[in-house]
């Protein structure tokens, strides 16, 4: 083979120097791991991760461009087999320059023809077998209200669900156990495998309660573009002789004054609403003392609103049972909000007393640590704010981001403090209690707000204490600190427990900024690929379809991107079955075009 001139010799020198630096830097990190467990350096995932970290510690773009110009591998897809890729380039350059083949630097390095089988094995151990027609699994969050619904569970399984998710931030141990039991029966009847993941709630950093005010039942008929009623508004009302007795799931109660006989179908009740306007409520049906009422006009009903039957003079009474609602806290750009250290119910602004709106934080100790200028995001980015002062009462925020005209802030909404170390224990008291319940029920633990190797060690110790080291762990990357410490988080568990990574894009976007989210999620995918670990692509995938039955084109593109992960997570919603079927179709189609970063060129048929 004819030799090439100086450029190939220069390339060989550059790639040899790169290999030496990768090996040298990797050995330093492996030496640190030896103090924990000397056998870790023999694990292929551990070795390749440290090789990848060494490779990416400097900018090699000029070398990549030079390699590509010569028709050689540019190392652009080497994440899962770093050292093998470098060695192969060296072998080609040695042959091209007529130099003797050198020794392989690391005989135990994973080869490019082995990496996918290692990833497939790790994925199957953690997430279960791949469905026959696609490689990417589908994870679905189970709604507590359907915990005992066998038909619903069977529909999810036959539609394509591969992993069921229990969110320990919601519902109770009763619902969790019912979900697991119902799913077990559904698996037997459908003969479809399905693992169960339980997400620990973690430290819930959320807005506290708001003061309550009188509840209002707003009846809204459907109107056409000219304001004509197309469909009347409906509500369900319980006929209650005893106001203290149990109440079925209804919108309100009808408490009679003189009669014990409830209104009948076709009977009309006239009512004065909160604005003093007379409204006509027609009884459409009566079932087990529950009346379905229709109203052709908009109405605002409150407790105490009087009603009178048109047909029976003695059939009259008042409305009750409308629950109180949180105070309306409307915030717009420029408004002030006091994030308080107490746990008292929040209140709206009082301009007459020059008092800003105020709301508490579920972890008060975080409030006093917020520095001036600290960015604060609320309710998944609905509001952005900045700390402008601190006082004994709390941190005063100025609203910097809100939709035009303002929006409502509700209780129990997420709070994010980008860049601010939380310094919270790895597991909350609730997490430890929940582990006692869920360990016998599930296959995988979702670790919320993990931020360090010490955090991972704490969960592994907690599982060991419960004889549950066989359970898999999915590290949920939700904060900027977790992202920056991702290598140490992974190295704390690789080779010792089934492990995966979740890209929790909702909280992560608030932490790193929405503009940088795309870049960050790519880096997480690369590092997990280097470790041969499965990735779960999560947050708002096909959300409009799951919740509203409608799909947007950007959501379709986003769902297709999920094919680069080993699992895509869907959240719950009324149309979740349809969302699972749609995602199943998208992932099945996309796997013929893409595998990780590798574009597959299957035959295309154009006219």
Token pair, residue 217, equals 């039942």
User: Residue 107: its pLDDT value, please?
Assistant: 55
pLDDT in tens, 94-141: 988 888 776 665 556 788 778 888 999 999 999 999 988 899 999 999
Higher model confidence: residue 551 or residue 154?
154
Q: Which of 36-40, 142-146, 528-532 has the lowest mean pLDDT?
A: 36-40
Token pair, residue 407, equals 């929006």
Strands (E), 257-411: 268-272, 278-287, 290-295, 299-301, 306-309, 316-320, 325-326, 330-331, 336-340, 357-360, 375-378, 383-391, 394-401, 407-408
**Residue recorded with tokens 């119910």:** 345
> Could you give the CA distance from residue 118 to residue 123 in angstroms, rounded to a whole number?
9
Q: What angle do CA 591, 595, 597 make, to 5 degrees?
A: 140
Token pair, residue 603, equals 């035959």
What phi, psi does 421 have (nearest 5°)? -60, 130
pLDDT in tens, 330-376: 999 999 999 998 888 999 999 888 999 999 999 999 999 999 999 99
Please say whether the structural domain 135-203+425-597 has been given the CATH code 3.40.50.300.
Answer: no
Higher model confidence: residue 601 or residue 140?
140
The residue length of the chain stands at 607
DSSP3 helix / strand / coil % (the chain, rounded to 5) = 35, 25, 40
> Per-residue pLDDT for 607 more than 60?
no
Count Cβ atoms below 10 Å from residue 130 Cβ, excluding itself.
15
> Could you give the CA distance from residue 555 to residue 315 in angstroms, rounded to a whole number?
53
Half-sphere exposure of residue 502, counting CA atoms within 13 Å on the CB side? 29
pLDDT in tens, 537-546: 998 889 988 9
Q: How far is CA 362 from CA 197, 284, 346, 603, in A?
A: 26, 45, 12, 56
Nearest to 326 by CA among 351, 305, 346, 353: 346
Sign, CA dihedral 529-454-503-432, equals positive
> Could you give the CA distance from residue 414 to residue 514 in angstroms, rounded to a whole number?
16
3-state secondary structure 294-329: EECCCEEECCCCEEEECCCCCCEEEEECCCCEECCC
User: Residue 477: its pLDDT value, please?
Assistant: 95
Q: At what angle do helices 514-530 and 44-55 cross, to 10 degrees?
A: 130
**Residue recorded with tokens 């497939």:** 120
Indicate the Cα dihedral angle 239, 240, 245, 247, nearest 10°.
30
Token pair, residue 589, equals 């189609």
Nearest to 102 by CA among 111, 117, 92, 110: 92
Count Cβ atoms below 10 Å from residue 217 Cβ, excluding itself.
21
User: Residue 601: its pLDDT value, please?
Assistant: 47
The gap from C-alpha 211 to its chain's centroid, in whole angstroms, comes to 29
Residues with Cβ within 8 Å of 313's Cβ and at least 6 positions away in sequence, in order, are: none
Q: At what angle do helices 429-438 and 453-465 cross, to 10 degrees?
A: 40
User: Residue 240: its pLDDT value, please?
Assistant: 74
pLDDT in tens, 200-235: 999 989 999 999 999 999 999 999 888 888 999 999
Nearest to 571 by CA among 543, 535, 536: 543
Strand partners, 253: 238, 320
Region 300-307: mean pLDDT is 94
User: Residue 34: its pLDDT value, please?
Assistant: 84
Region 253-263: mean pLDDT is 85
Q: At what angle do helices 150-159 and 173-190 cross, to 10 degrees?
A: 60
> Could you give the CA distance from residue 421 to residue 451 in angstroms, rounded to a whole number?
10
pLDDT in tens, 396-440: 999 999 999 999 999 999 999 998 888 899 999 999 999 999 999
State the pTM of this model.
0.84
> What CATH number does domain 328-416 carry, 2.60.120.10, 3.40.190.10, 2.40.33.10, 3.30.9.10?
2.40.33.10
Find the largest Cα–Cα distance for the chain: 109
Q: Concatenated DSSP letters for 163-176?
A: EEEEETTSS-HHHH
Domain boundaries, the chain: 6-113, 135-203+425-597, 215-323, 328-416
Q: What angle do CA 421, 425, 426 make, to 5 degrees?
A: 95
% residues pLDDT > 70 (the chain): 94
Name the 3-class secondary structure at 104: coil
According to DSSP, residue 110 is labeled P
Please say whether the structural domain 215-323 has been given the CATH code 2.120.10.
Answer: no
> Could you give the CA distance from residue 466 to residue 443 in angstroms, rounded to a whole number?
14
Count Cβ atoms below 10 Å from residue 363 Cβ, excluding itself.
16
Q: Are 275 and 268 in contact (CB under 8 A)?
A: no
What phi, psi does 377 have (nearest 5°)? -115, 140
Q: Are 357 and 334 in contact (CB under 8 A)?
A: no
User: Residue 569: its pLDDT value, please?
Assistant: 95
> Could you give the CA distance from residue 366 to residue 423 in angstroms, rounded to a whole number?
9
pLDDT in tens, 484-537: 999 999 999 998 999 999 999 888 888 888 888 889 999 999 999 999 999 999
* Average model confidence (pLDDT) across the chain: 90
**Residue recorded with tokens 């048109």:** 310
Higher model confidence: residue 98 or residue 191?
191
% residues pLDDT > 90 (the chain): 69
Q: How confident is the model at residue 596 (pLDDT cuts 50, 70, 90)?
A: low
What phi, psi does 292 have (nearest 5°)? -95, 115
> Could you give the CA distance from residue 415 to residue 158 in angstroms, rounded to a whole number?
37
Residues with Cβ within 8 Å of 561's Cβ and at least 6 positions away in sequence, in order, are: 537
């Amino acid at each position: 083979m004819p030799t090439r001139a100086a450029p190939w010799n220069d390339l060989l020198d550059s790639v040899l120097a790169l290999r030496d630096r990768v090996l040298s830097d990797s050995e330093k990190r492996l030496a640190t791991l030896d103090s924990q467990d000397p056998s870790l350096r023999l694990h292929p995932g551990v070795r390749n991760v440290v090789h990848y970290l060494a490779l990416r510690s400097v900018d090699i773009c000029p070398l990549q461009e030079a390699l590509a110009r010569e028709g050689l591998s540019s190392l652009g897809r080497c994440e899962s087999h770093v050292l093998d890729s470098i060695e192969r380039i060296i072998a080609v350059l040695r042959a091209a320059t007529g130099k003797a083949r050198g020794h392989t630097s690391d005989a135990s390095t994973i080869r490019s023809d082995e990496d996918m089988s290692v990833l497939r094995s790790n994925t199957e151990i953690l997430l279960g077998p791949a469905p026959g027609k696609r490689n990417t699994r589908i994870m679905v969050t189970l709604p507590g209200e359907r915990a005992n619904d066998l038909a619903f569970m069977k529909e999810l399984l036959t539609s394509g669900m591969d992993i069921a998710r229990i969110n320990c931030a919601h519902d109770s141990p009763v619902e969790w156990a019912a979900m697991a039991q119902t799913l077990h029966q559904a698996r037997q009847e459908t003969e479809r495998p399905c693992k169960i993941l339980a997400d620990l709630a973690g430290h819930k950093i959320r807005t506290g309660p708001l003061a309550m005010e009188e509840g209002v039942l707003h009846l809204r008929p459907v109107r056409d573009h000219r304001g004509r009623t197309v469909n009347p508004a409906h509500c369900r009302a319980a006929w209650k002789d005893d106001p203290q007795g149990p109440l079925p799931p209804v919108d309100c109660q009808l408490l009679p004054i003189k009669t014990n006989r409830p209104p009948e179908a076709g009977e009309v009740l006239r009512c004065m609403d909160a604005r003093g306007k007379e409204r006509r409520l027609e009884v459409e049906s009566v079932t087990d003392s529950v009346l379905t009422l229709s109203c052709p006009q908009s109405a605002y009903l409150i407790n105490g609103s009087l009603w009178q039957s048109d047909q029976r003079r003695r059939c009259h009474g008042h409305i009750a049972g409308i629950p109180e609602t949180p105070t309306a806290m409307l915030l717009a750009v420029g408004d002030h909000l006091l994030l308080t250290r107490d746990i008292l119910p929040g209140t709206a602004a009082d301009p007459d007393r020059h008092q800003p709106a105020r709301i508490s934080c579920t972890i008060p100790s975080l409030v006093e640590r917020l520095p001036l200028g600290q960015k604060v995001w609320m309710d998944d980015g609905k509001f952005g704010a900045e700390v402008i002062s601190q006082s004994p009462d709390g941190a005063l925020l100025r609203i910097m981001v809100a939709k035009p005209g303002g929006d409502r802030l509700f209780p129990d909404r997420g709070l994010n403090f980008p860049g601010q170390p939380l310094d919270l224990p790895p597991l909350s008291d609730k997490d430890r209690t929940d582990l006692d319940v869920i360990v016998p029920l599930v296959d995988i633990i979702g670790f919320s707000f993990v931020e360090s190797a010490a955090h991972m060690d704490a969960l592994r110790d907690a599982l060991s204490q419960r004889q549950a080291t066989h359970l898999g762990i999915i590290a949920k990357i939700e904060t900027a600190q977790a992202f920056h410490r991702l290598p140490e988080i992974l190295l704390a568990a690789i080779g010792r427990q089934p492990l995966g990574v979740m890209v929790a894009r909702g909280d992560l976007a608030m932490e790193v900024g929405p503009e940088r989210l795309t870049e960050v999620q790519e880096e997480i995918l690369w590092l997990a690929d280097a470790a041969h670990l499965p990735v779960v692509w999560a947050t708002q995938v096909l959300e409009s379809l799951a919740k509203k039955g409608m799909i947007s084109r950007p959501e379709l593109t986003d769902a297709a991107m999920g094919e680069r992960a080993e699992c895509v997570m869907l959240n719950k919603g009324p149309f979740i079955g349809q969302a699972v079927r749609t995602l199943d179709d998208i992932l099945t189609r996309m796997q013929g075009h893409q595998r990780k970063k590798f574009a597959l060129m299957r035959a295309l048929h154009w006219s």
